[in-house]
């Protein structure tokens, strides 16, 4: 069997015992592990070591996990598995909205962590190699830069295409206006985040069945936008099926 190249995991965790245990176990599983004990060192290593995945503790000295996450997402798509001791639903939402890809609450089993790591690595490899994005009836060809909705050419402008691709590449994740501005318009762009809102409005007019009640591109108040093809497809099939009866209590 061909020996695959080792995945590099950056482990940012301030509890020494947990850091040591996880490092040993991850190495046992064939991963190359880089460890950091505080947020600043973690961000520095995220930049300098180009890990394939980051395990990030939420509560860290120096620079906390959420601030680190926000800084990281300005510059990198690396998958992040967030660890936290908090259990409330609100904290979970905050963690995911910061751009983390998945979330584990302490205490967790090693088996559960390994399963999440494998899933995240598989997903990011698929994303890196594919040349189309498809969800919610929309198909983006990343080579020819054509966008189709149910087989019809959407005729998106280059900026609309890039914006939609960025949202679809991170389906269901909330992307902030600042992040979208940086990713789609570039660091050197002097415009403000209203530029993003204007382009989202134009996109909605082209892709939403009811642009005033958008399903595919959702606004997350105070933060930014999220693409969800599953919600869009459900709403569309519910609307187009006259026999549809909502039986939810
Ligand atoms: Ca901690």
From the list 203, 116, 112, 119, the residue with the least C-alpha distance to 161 is 203
Helix axis angle, 194-207 to 158-169, nearest 10°: 90
- CB atoms within 5 A of ion ligand 1 belong to 14, 57, 59
3-state helix, strand, coil in the chain (%, to 5): 45, 20, 35
pLDDT for residue 243 is more than 80:
no
pLDDT band for position 238 (cuts 50, 70, 90): very low
Please state the pTM of the whole predicted model: 0.59
**Interatomic CA distance for residues 209 and 105, integer angstroms:** 38
Q: Which two tokens stand for residue 49?
A: 């070591």
pLDDT for residue 50 is more than 90:
no
> What is the whole-number distance in angstroms between the Cα of residue 204 and the centre of ligand 1?
41
pLDDT in tens, 147-184: 999 889 999 999 999 999 999 988 888 888 888 888 88
Hey, where are the domains in the chain? Answer: 8-128, 132-239
Least confident segment among 55-64, 87-96, 117-126: 87-96
> What is the whole-number distance in angstroms between the Cα of residue 229 and the centre of ligand 1?
35
Predicted pLDDT of residue 232: 54
Q: Which residue has the higher pLDDT, 76 or 52?
A: 52
**Interatomic CA distance for residues 32 and 196, integer angstroms:** 39
> What is the whole-number distance in angstroms between the Cα of residue 143 and the centre of ligand 1?
43
> What is the whole-number distance in angstroms between the Cα of residue 1 and the centre of ligand 1?
39
CATH of 8-128, one of 1.10.287.40, 3.40.47.10, 3.40.50.10490, 3.40.50.2300: 3.40.50.2300
Predicted pLDDT of residue 246: 39
**Interatomic CA distance for residues 216 and 202, integer angstroms:** 13
Mean pLDDT rounded to a whole number for the chain = 85
pLDDT for residue 137 is more than 80:
yes
Predicted pLDDT of residue 20: 97
Predicted pLDDT of residue 26: 97
Q: Which residue has the higher pLDDT, 141 or 124?
A: 141
Q: Which residue has the higher pLDDT, 64 or 26?
A: 26
> What is the whole-number distance in angstroms between the Cα of residue 52 and the centre of ligand 1?
22
Mean pLDDT on 219-248: 63
> What is the whole-number distance in angstroms between the Cα of residue 61 and the centre of ligand 1?
8
**Interatomic CA distance for residues 25 and 223, integer angstroms:** 37
132-239 maps to CATH 3.40.50.300: no
């Amino acid at each position: 069997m061909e020996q695959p190249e080792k995945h590099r995991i950056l482990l940012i965790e301030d509890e020494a015992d947990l850091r040591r245990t996880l490092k040993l176990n991850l190495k046992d599983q064939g991963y190359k592990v880089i460890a950091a004990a505080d947020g600043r060192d973690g961000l520095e290593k995220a930049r300098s070591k180009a890990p394939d995945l980051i395990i990030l503790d939420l509560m860290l000295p120096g620079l906390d996990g959420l601030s680190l996450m926000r800084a990281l997402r300005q510059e990198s798509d690396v998958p992040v598995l967030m660890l936290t001791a908090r259990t409330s639903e609100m904290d979970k939402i905050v963690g995911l909205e910061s751009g983390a890809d998945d979330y584990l609450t302490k205490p967790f089993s090693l088996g559960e962590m390994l399963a999440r790591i494998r899933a995240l690595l598989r997903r990011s490899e698929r994303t890196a190699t594919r040349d189309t994005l498809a969800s919610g009836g929309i198909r983006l060809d990343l080579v020819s830069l054509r966008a189709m909705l149910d087989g019809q050419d959407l005729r998106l402008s280059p900026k609309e295409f890039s914006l939609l691709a960025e949202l679809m590449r991170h389906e269901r994740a909330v992307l902030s206006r600042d992040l979208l501005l940086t990713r789609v318009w570039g660091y050197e762009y002097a415009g403000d985040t209203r530029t993003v809102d204007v382009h989202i409005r134009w996109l909605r007019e082209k892709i939403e069945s009811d642009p005033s009640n958008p399903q595919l591109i959702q606004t997350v108040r105070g933060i930014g936008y999220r693409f969800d093809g599953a919600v869009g497809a459900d709403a569309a099939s519910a609307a187009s099926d006259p026999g549809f009866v909502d039986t939810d209590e």
